[in-house]
C-alpha cells in the first residue's frame, strides 16, 4: 500500500537549518508530483512547496521562497525539504503529500507528518 514516511523534524534555533525527508513506498515514484504542506499548532493547513514528477519544476509559497528548497531522489524514492534561515513562524507539523497526478495540486495521500519547532 502507499506509504509516505517523514523524518528529520526536531527543535532548532532561529536562523539555523534543517532537512526533512519523506520516504515513499507502494507508488511509482517518478509518476507523481510531490508536495510539502505544513500546519502550525492549532492552526490550518498551509501549502509550502511542490516538485514535479521529474524534478524539473519547483514552486514555493511566498512565505518560504528563497529559504526552503524542495528536491527528490528517484534512486531512493525520497522527497526532501531543505529549510534554512528558520523562523519561529516556521514551527509546524510538516506533511509530505502525493499529487493525484503530475501537476494537479490535488493531494490524495498524506504522510503522518514530522514536527519542526523553531525556538531559542
Using CB under 8 A as the binding criterion, the count of chain residues that bind other proteins stands at: 20
Stretch that binds other proteins, among 11-19, 21-29, 73-81, 108-116 (CB under 8 A): 108-116
- Does 62 interact with other proteins (rule: CB under 8 A)? yes
- Does 107 interact with other proteins (rule: CB under 8 A)? yes
**Residue located via cell numbers 519544476:** 57
- Does 45 interact with other proteins (rule: CB under 8 A)? yes
Q: How far is CA 48 from CA 17, 20, 75, in A?
A: 16, 13, 24
CB of 27 to other proteins, least distance (A): 15
**Other CB atoms closer than 10 Å to residue 111's CB: what's the count?**
22
Specify whether the CB–CB gap between 13 and 118 falls below 8 A: yes
CA distance 90 to 94: 10
Applying CB under 8 A, the residues found at the interface with other proteins are: 37, 44-47, 50, 59, 62, 95, 100, 104-113
Amino acid at each position: 500500500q502507499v506509504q509516505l514516511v517523514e523524518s528529520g523534524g526536531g527543535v532548532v534555533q532561529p536562523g539555523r537549518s534543517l532537512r526533512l525527508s519523506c520516504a515513499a513506498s507502494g507508488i511509482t515514484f517518478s509518476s507523481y508530483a510531490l508536495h510539502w504542506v505544513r500546519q502550525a499548532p492549532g492552526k490550518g493547513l498551509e501549502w509550502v512547496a511542490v516538485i514535479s514528477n521529474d524534478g524539473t519544476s519547483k514552486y514555493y509559497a511566498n512565505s518560504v521562497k528563497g529559504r526552503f528548497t524542495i528536491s527528490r531522489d528517484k534512486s531512493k524514492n525520497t522527497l526532501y525539504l531543505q529549510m534554512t534561515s528558520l523562523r519561529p513562524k516556521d514551527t509546524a507539523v510538516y506533511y509530505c503529500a502525493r499529487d493525484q497526478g503530475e501537476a494537479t495540486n490535488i493531494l490524495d495521500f498524506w504522510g503522518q507528518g514530522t514536527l519542526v519547532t523553531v525556538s531559542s
